[in-house]
């Protein structure tokens, strides 16, 4: 994977170490954009790649990707014209029913998404829509627990991309659904905390369709040398606004046609 930037590689390394240090210590850091923004978004992805390689070399296992900025409104807010992506590691998966410790994250928020599980390798940067649809093994509802290593969520596009697309943890529903007869665009979503709605939306919020968002991701991943592989999970983008969480919260997302998923947050530090 090669990325050309106009930034001194030592600056890329410095930004990567800042974000990695924040993840380790649990103390967020100042935005990294002043360090790297002269190199454009490619510099931010170079920071992400430095940390991806570090984590893989340290024994963490890649199991998928997440797509961010699938909302056109959020893209306009950050001054970009396309989504971004981040890496999903096996240790980010929290099985449904296992309480999530807020000690695992720094500044968590939650989003409801449709997760797509891939049934075949996708090595081609010119992947077609038909090939993308054929590659979908099944879908499940998901709650992504997004997080930021940047203090106070003071982020711009360079910060979130460098920070692995503000990823944290994720919870997948346990009942898979095939695509047959399922129009992901029209799948409405309600996310609640203790029965109170906190976010609503639908599949059409993800670039018009989670399939379209996943196709974008698969093409980009093939182009940059980290293609999606059989069994990989795609978190295809938020179906509605993200919301904050606190200790003791129980978050439930219901997605029409796809199912229900719950994330329970521990009431103490365990």
One pLDDT digit (tens) per residue for the chain, 270 residues: 444 446 799 999 999 999 999 999 999 999 999 999 999 999 999 999 999 999 999 999 999 999 998 877 677 767 777 899 999 999 999 999 999 998 999 999 999 999 999 999 999 999 999 999 999 999 999 999 999 999 999 999 999 999 999 999 999 999 999 999 999 999 999 999 988 999 999 999 899 999 999 999 999 999 999 999 999 999 999 999 899 999 999 999 999 999 999 999 999 755
* Domain coverage including residue 122: 61-265
Instruction: Find the angle CA(27)-CA(159)-CA(241) to the nearest 5 degrees.
Output: 90
Asked whether residue 181 is domain-assigned, the answer is yes
Asked whether residue 197 is domain-assigned, the answer is yes
- Please report, for residues 84, 118, 195, 222, the alpha-carbon distance to residue 124 in angstroms, rounded to integers and kept in the order given: 19, 14, 44, 6
Report which secondary-structure segment, H or E, holds 262: strand 259-264
Contact 171, 228 (CB under 8 A): no
Q: For 154-174, give the secondary structure using H, E and C.
A: CCCHHHHHHCHHHCCEEEECC
Asked whether residue 24 is domain-assigned, the answer is no
Asked whether residue 8 is domain-assigned, the answer is no
Asked whether residue 189 is domain-assigned, the answer is yes
Cα separation, 258 vs 235, whole angstroms: 14
The runs of H, that is alpha helices, within the chain are 9-25, 33-36, 40-57, 72-78, 129-135, 157-162, 210-224
Give the CATH number for residue 83: 3.90.850.10
Asked whether residue 247 is domain-assigned, the answer is yes
pTM recorded for the entire structure: 0.94
Structure tokens at 147: 């997080």
Asked whether residue 35 is domain-assigned, the answer is no
Name every residue whose Cβ is closer than 8 Å to that of residue 244 and which is 6 or more positions away in sequence: 108, 109, 110
Asked whether residue 120 is domain-assigned, the answer is yes
Contact 255, 205 (CB under 8 A): no
Q: Domain tally for the chain?
A: 1
């Amino acid at each position: 994977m090669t990325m050309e930037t106009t930034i001194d590689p030592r600056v890329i390394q410095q930004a990567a170490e800042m974000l990695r240090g924040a993840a380790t210590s649990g103390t967020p850091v100042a935005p990294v954009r002043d360090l790297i923004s002269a190199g454009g978004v490619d510099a931010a992805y170079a920071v992400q790649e430095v940390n991806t390689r570090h984590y893989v070399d340290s024994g963490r296992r890649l199991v998928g990707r997440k797509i961010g900025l699938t909302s056109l409104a959020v893209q306009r807010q950050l001054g970009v014209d396309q989504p971004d992506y981040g890496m999903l590691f096996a240790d980010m998966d929290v099985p449904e029913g296992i309480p999530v410790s807020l000690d695992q994250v720094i500044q968590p928020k939650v989003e409801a998404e449709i997760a797509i599980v891939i049934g075949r390798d996708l090595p081609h940067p010119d992947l077609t829509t038909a090939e993308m649809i054929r590659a979908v093994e099944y879908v499940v509802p998901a709650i992504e627990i997004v997080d930021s290593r940047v203090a106070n969520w003071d982020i711009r596009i360079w910060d979130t991309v460098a920070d692995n697309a503000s990823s944290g943890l994720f919870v997948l529903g346990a009942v898979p659904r095939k695509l047959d007869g399922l129009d992901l665009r029209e799948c409405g979503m309600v996310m609640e905390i203790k029965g109170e709605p906190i976010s609503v939306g639908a599949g059409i919020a993800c670039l018009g369709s989670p399939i379209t968002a996943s196709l974008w991701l698969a093409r980009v991943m093939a182009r940059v040398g980290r293609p999606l592989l059989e069994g990989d999970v795609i978190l295809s983008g938020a179906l509605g606004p993200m919301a904050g969480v606190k200790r003791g919260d129980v978050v439930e997302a219901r997605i029409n046609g796809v199912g229900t998923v719950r994330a329970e947050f521990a009431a103490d530090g365990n």
